[in-house]
Amino acid sequence: MENFTSARDKLLTLGLVGLGLAHELNSPLTATGLGLELLADRLRRPDPPSPAEAAEAVDRVLSRIRRMAALVDRFRQFARGEGGRPTWVELDAVADGVHALVRPTLAELTHIALVRGDRLPGATVYADRLLLEQALAIAVLNAADALGDREGCIELHVAPHRPGWVRVDVDDDGPGFDSVNDSVELGFSTKGDDGMGVGLALAKGIVESAGGTLEASNRDEGGARLRTCLPVRPSAAGGAAD
């Protein structure tokens, strides 16, 4: 019975990771395709971009492709239970990476602003940077899905939590969660029937593999909050806790 349970859990993890990977590759693939279409259209015009401008656009596309390839490799490791490649990483740098990754996509495809808010210099956590960035990107994109076609704002904050812990808050000014308790569980989707309901569950698994927690709440001032809490490096705990 124990072997059956282990095998079932492995299949569930593989299925979750496979669906989650397909879910999370969709946005960068859409942005990549759109970027190539825009470049092709500009190159066909009587006043095409300069070679330097075209090369810069190609570099942006190649950067997304390389990141997607690295993401596939990390998720493959995650599915095998290897937990990625954890190292000590600056949480501000991780949040900056998410901002740099997601903001251009939101600007191209939506009317949503992504604001890089509070910072906490020196707060260092032990995690696979690429997977952690992806988990936070999932939280940001989930907020964007909740906002839909409306104009809105998503804020990304790094701040102290309880002693020995730090947090990353993804705040939005959307409608909030209908069911806070179910929002980070498998099957929940801000897209309704059009969503697979794996994104936040996958993000939760990534965060928990780094020893942290992912929690959802509705803000008193309106909108939703996804809070990622992680243990901070002991030498930095004194300056990273209230």
Residue by residue, DSSP assigns 70-118 as HHHHHHHHHHTT-----EEEEHHHHHHHHHHHHHHHHHHH-SEEEEE--
Q: What's the average model confidence in pLDDT over 151-163? A: 94
**Structural domains in the chain (count):** 2
Tell me the C-alpha distance between 42 and 203, whole Å: 37
Rounded to two decimals, the pTM is: 0.66
More confident position, 85 or 199: 85
More confident position, 239 or 47: 47
Which of residues 43, 59, 79 is at a domain's end?
79
| 92 and 152 assigned to the same domain | yes
Q: What's the average model confidence in pLDDT over 34-51? A: 88
Which of residues 63, 79, 95 is at a domain's end?
79
Query: Do 138 and 149 form a contact (C-beta atoms < 8 A)?
Result: no
Q: What is the mean pLDDT of the chain?
A: 78
| Residue 239, pLDDT score | 46
Torsion angle (degrees, nearest 10) of CA 157, 57, 108, 46:
150
More confident position, 53 or 13: 53
Q: What's the average model confidence in pLDDT over 130-137? A: 86
Q: DSSP 3-state assignment of 155?
A: strand
| Residue 141, pLDDT score | 84
User: Which pair of tokens denotes residue 232?
Assistant: 């901070």
| Residue 77, pLDDT score | 67
| 230 and 110 assigned to the same domain | yes
Residue ranges making up the domain that contains 59: 2-79
Which of residues 79, 101, 134 is at a domain's end?
79
Q: What's the average model confidence in pLDDT over 111-134? A: 92
| Residue 196, pLDDT score | 37
pLDDT, tens digit (0-9, with 9 covering 90-100), for 171-202: 999 988 876 665 555 444 444 444 434 468 87
Query: Do 111 and 75 form a contact (C-beta atoms < 8 A)?
Result: no
User: Which pair of tokens denotes residue 51?
Assistant: 């070679």
Is pLDDT above 60 for 231?
Answer: yes
| Residue 235, pLDDT score | 67
| pLDDT band at 102; cut points 50, 70, 90 | confident
User: Residue 135 maps to which CATH number?
Assistant: 3.30.565.10
**Percent of all residues in the chain with a pLDDT value above 70, rounded to a whole number:** 72
Backbone torsions φ then ψ of 197, nearest 5 degrees: 70, 35
